[in-house]
Amino acid sequence: MRRHGIGLLALAGLLAVPLTALPHQAGAADSLVSSGRPATASSVEGSGFGAPLAFDADPATRWASAEGADPQWVRVDLGSNHTISRVKLDWEAAYGKAYRIQTSADGSTWTDVYATTTGDGATDDLTVAGTGRYVRMYGTTRGTPYGYSLWEFEVYGSPTGTGGGGGPAVPFGSRTQPYAAGMLRPSGSPATLDQKVVAYYNNWKSAFVRQNCGNGWYQVISPDADHPYVAEAQGYGMVITATMAGADPNAKKIFDGLVKWKIDHPSSINPNLLAAEQDSSCRSVNGGDGATDGDMDVAYGLLLADRQWGSSGTYNYKDLAIKHINAIKKDELNASTRLLKLGDWSSPGDRYYYVSRTSDWMVDHFRAFRKATGDTTWDAVRTAHQTQIAHLQSTYAPSTGLLPDFVVDTNTAPKPAPGQVLEDPNDGAYWWNACRTPWRIGDDAVTSGDAESLAAARKLNSWIKGKTGGDPSKIAIGYALNGSPLSSGSDAAYVAPFAVAAMTDAGSQRWLDALWNKMLATPIQTDSYFGASIQLQTMITVTGNHWVP
């Protein structure tokens, strides 16, 4: 493909102000922000040539304007204000000879960031400098007797929103943090995939998000847990609502209600953590101490919120996040093994002090904690957990890669729990905790490209794809670590996480599509926040919408 330089002298007679536009330099620190975003155009040639097709990341589809008329335009809505650094136009045969690239904050007042009268088609890859929520190509002279037509119109940059009235900085669907090279996504345009996620999110919210106790609180109910409200569910809710900002205009309101719940239900051991369980009257019960899984997501959700909305509003998300992260380090991390404990209630000398739950091992969270705090302890924590993942896979599940719910003897020779340690006789199997590990490992693999996370995810994917013959309906409810099924039937909590692992294997497109279609065909069970919340978060990841603050 060709790259076109800019005739700067030709611009002098065209514009009242100088423009900054040069051929794009490879390696610039910009992200694709237009893929799958809403788009409109001045006209469309006919059915099958709509404006969104120029932003669908599919080089075989295109937008085409009506023929024989000038001017014509096509624009994309980035969802919030962005700094624009690069625009790439892949023209079809019907190209623009004279056109402008323009930005706008409101969709009505436009600023030129590039213009030419000597366009000759093919590919224009341009470095520009501007800001706006909307970006458009405004064509004034056609290069052929036909119209204007673009295979792809790509906008690169970064969000500038920091909360308040500026909207979310990373609106859902913006994909401002590209995944590692080679990661798969389900077949279909980004816009279509995003629509499926938003629809599922709306159903999830209707089923589980409540304001049952007043006091400005929001809660995620947990009808399938031991108590009506559990920290794990609130953590899921905070991560989900912060991620869905831009698709849900009430996301910040809900998030702030969840923050108030967290503040008003402190752990009895460390008040910067969240009490693990509440009853139907919204009172903390069962000791009021903290659970590591919920606290990990609460801290991560607060970091997402700080990036989305800034921390100058009602709540200082960043300050709350740092306090929560430091509290996890103090009371939910084993200081000698660098592995997470089960909660802040476990202390040296008790029988659970050297027990860890594999579903808590959220490697991308450790990366976010390191970035937010600058504390190198989190590098050591990440390494410790990745080392144990590799050890458990190679030693106890060499043919499957499956992890157990709980690991014991973490101070000497870590191994799967030998029967019931905390919950039930399957504590040493791939059961109702460890079923989340393909998703948790995969989240880090796809976002960081880390070799260890990729290897662990690919091992899981290779086994389950072969075990089921590529049929997601054959994924059982639970497995021994050697791959023997523990229970028949199907559950979203077991099916969905494998879709994230499938993203890491270039040869698994058909398998990933089968998993995606299985998820779409699985309605939300309103009596199971667990499976629905897991599936929603995996849908967010496989569509390219998971990001690390």
Count Cβ atoms within 10 A of the Cβ of residue 151 and give its class: 0-12 exposed, 13-18 middle, 19 or more buried: middle
Distance CA 390, CA 208 (A): 36
**Which residue, among 170, 171, 163, 172, has the nearest Cα to 311 in the 3D structure?**
163
Residues 6+ apart with CB under 8 A from 384: 337, 338, 339
CA 439 to chain CA centroid, Å, is 11
User: Helix/strand/coil (H, E, C) string of 339-364?
Assistant: CECCECCCCCCCCCCCCEEHHHCCHH
Distance CA 103, CA 110 (A): 6
**Which residue, among 369, 370, 364, 360, has the nearest Cα to 339 in the 3D structure?**
360
DSSP at 209: E
CB 6 within 8 A of CB 21: yes
Distance CA 248, CA 243 (A): 10
178-to-6, 152, 209, 454, 543 alpha-carbon distances in Å: 28, 17, 30, 16, 11
232 given a catalytic annotation: yes
**Paired tokens of 398:** 């060499």
Catalytic residue among 125, 152, 232, 344: 232
Distance CA 330, CA 27 (A): 40
264 given a catalytic annotation: no
Catalytic residue among 293, 331, 452, 491: 293
The catalytic site residues sit at 232, 293
